[in-house]
Chains A and B, each alone.
Chain A
Amino acid sequence: MEDKIDVSVWRGTEQGEFRHYSVPRLASQTVLDVVTYIQRRLESSLAYRFACRVGMCGSCAMTVNGVARWTCRTHVEKVAPHGVLEIAPLSNLPVIRDLVCDMSSFFDKWARAEGHFHPTATRTDPIVRVQPDTPARRAADAGIECIGCAVCYASCDVVAWNADYLGPAALNRAWTLMNDERDSGGKVRLAAVSGDAGCHACHTHMSCTERCPKKIAPTAAIAGLKRATLAALLAGRL
């Protein structure tokens, strides 16, 4: 194992350059540790995001050696066995500065996909008992753990080609709600996720599924939405 890591870090906004830093190599070192070392010891003006450091918040996602990852859960030895790291902001999102992206468009698309709960009851009604083993609940549970880190969104070719495309995370969220028996927004949600900017734009490349740190399969959720929208169209409900 080399004593040092040769790290290239993106500096600037949409326009900028990679700058090189030499960082001491340590055991069990994460990529976030490397970025933090640079910011605290070498380049105090470096901008980056993190919060929990344990893979719960999803705020530290960056492009590491060309692949979108959570930096807090990525060991250097896994992605840079020869001691060379290139760290850039996430793709498909505007860069605010250095490693910080503007996530507005990502979350706006969750709203466009009707990614919020449409309740069927009020807070005064009894709590609904949801059976955990129904097919619908299993489908909802399969995607419910998404924490909105945008790794899937940054990995999606269709987002790169079609700026209006809702993207894997928003569509995965829509599919979890379609399978939530307490939700009443199915019809309006299917209309929201249909068409050139919706689930039908997905080419099933599966980059989102391959790279999701939570092992969620947005591709399967999108396939579910395709089936549901087609069924609704044939039934005259869309």
Chain B
Amino acid sequence: MSPRAQLQLWAAQRIGAAVLALCVTVHLATMIYAVRHGLSATAILDRTRDNWGWAGFYVLFVLAVSVHAPIGMRTICGEWLGLSGRAVDVVLAALGVALAAVGLRAVWAVFAS
């Protein structure tokens, strides 16, 4: 992988981190609100069903995780486990796709249920 591509990965991970900082804050605030107001699962689903705002927010959240996590894992694999190279990059790209798939499936479930 060229240094330019490595720089692009670094930039993508930092941008992902910035998005996650916002998303995690909103997500935690939402959870605290739901718990403190005693919202049931049904009540939560009533709010998320057909709600494009929440769906868009969690799609952004899932995509940020899918970008951020594999790139961070790539660094950890290289520095702590001594694993690097094309095979590792392919496996971690697959991890990103898998995270996106299961995350988007969950978003779809609370949007279309």
Give chain A's interface residues, CB within 8 Å of chain B. 158, 161-162, 191, 194-198, 200-201, 229-230, 233, 238
Partner of A162, one of B2, B10, B11, B79: B79
A200 — nearest CB in chain B belongs to which residue?
B10
Q: With A158-B79, A161-B79, A161-B80 known to touch, is A194 a contact of B6 (CB < 8 Å)?
A: yes
Known: A196-B1, A196-B6, A200-B7. 12 other contacts (CB 8 A): A191-B3, A194-B3, A195-B3, A195-B10, A196-B78, A197-B3, A198-B3, A200-B6, A201-B75, A230-B7, A230-B11, A233-B11
* A191→B5 CA distance, assembly (Å): 11
What's the minimum C-beta distance from B8 to chain A, rounded to whole angstroms?
Answer: 7
Q: With A162-B79, A196-B78 known to touch, is A233 a contact of B3 (CB < 8 Å)?
A: no
**Contact between A194 and B79 (Cβ–Cβ < 8 Å)?**
no
* A200→B3 CA distance, assembly (Å): 10
Query: Which residues does chain B contribute within 8 Å of A196, judged by CB atoms?
Result: 1, 3, 6, 78
Is B4 positioned at the interface, with any CB of A under 8 Å from its CB? yes
> Lowest 7 A-B CB distances belong to which pairs?
A195-B3, A195-B6, A161-B79, A200-B10, A194-B3, A194-B7, A196-B6
* A162→B77 CA distance, assembly (Å): 11
Give chain B's interface residues, CB within 8 Å of chain A. 1-4, 6-8, 10-11, 75, 78-80
Query: Which residues does chain B contribute within 8 Å of A230, judged by CB atoms?
Result: 7, 11
What's the minimum C-beta distance from A180 to chain B, rounded to whole angstroms?
Answer: 22
**Contact between A195 and B7 (Cβ–Cβ < 8 Å)?**
yes
**Contact between A229 and B79 (Cβ–Cβ < 8 Å)?**
no
**Contact between B4 and A238 (Cβ–Cβ < 8 Å)?**
yes
Query: Which residues does chain B contribute within 8 Å of A162, judged by CB atoms?
Result: 78-79
Query: Which residues does chain B contribute within 8 Å of A195, judged by CB atoms?
Result: 2-4, 6-7, 10
Partner of A233, one of B1, B4, B80: B4
**Contact between B7 and A229 (Cβ–Cβ < 8 Å)?**
yes
**Contact between A233 and B79 (Cβ–Cβ < 8 Å)?**
no
Query: Which residues does chain B contribute within 8 Å of A229, judged by CB atoms?
Result: 7
B7 — nearest CB in chain A belongs to which residue?
A194
Of B2, B7, B10, B75, most buried by chain A (CB within 10 Å of CB) is B7
* A238→B75 CA distance, assembly (Å): 22
What's the minimum C-beta distance from A237 to chain B, rounded to whole angstroms?
Answer: 11
* A71→B4 CA distance, assembly (Å): 40
* A238→B11 CA distance, assembly (Å): 13
Query: Which residues does chain A contribute within 8 Å of B4, judged by CB atoms?
Result: 191, 194-195, 233, 238
* A180→B80 CA distance, assembly (Å): 37
* A191→B75 CA distance, assembly (Å): 20
What's the minimum C-beta distance from A191 to chain B, rounded to whole angstroms?
Answer: 6
Query: Which residues does chain B contribute within 8 Å of A194, judged by CB atoms?
Result: 3-4, 6-7
Query: Which residues does chain B contribute within 8 Å of A191, judged by CB atoms?
Result: 3-4
**Contact between B7 and A238 (Cβ–Cβ < 8 Å)?**
yes
B13 — nearest CB in chain A belongs to which residue?
A200
What's the minimum C-beta distance from B18 to chain A, rounded to whole angstroms?
Answer: 12
What's the minimum C-beta distance from B26 to chain A, rounded to whole angstroms?
Answer: 26
What's the minimum C-beta distance from A224 to chain B, rounded to whole angstroms?
Answer: 15
* A142→B1 CA distance, assembly (Å): 33
* A191→B11 CA distance, assembly (Å): 15
What's the minimum C-beta distance from A170 to chain B, rounded to whole angstroms?
Answer: 15
What's the minimum C-beta distance from A94 to chain B, rounded to whole angstroms?
Answer: 19
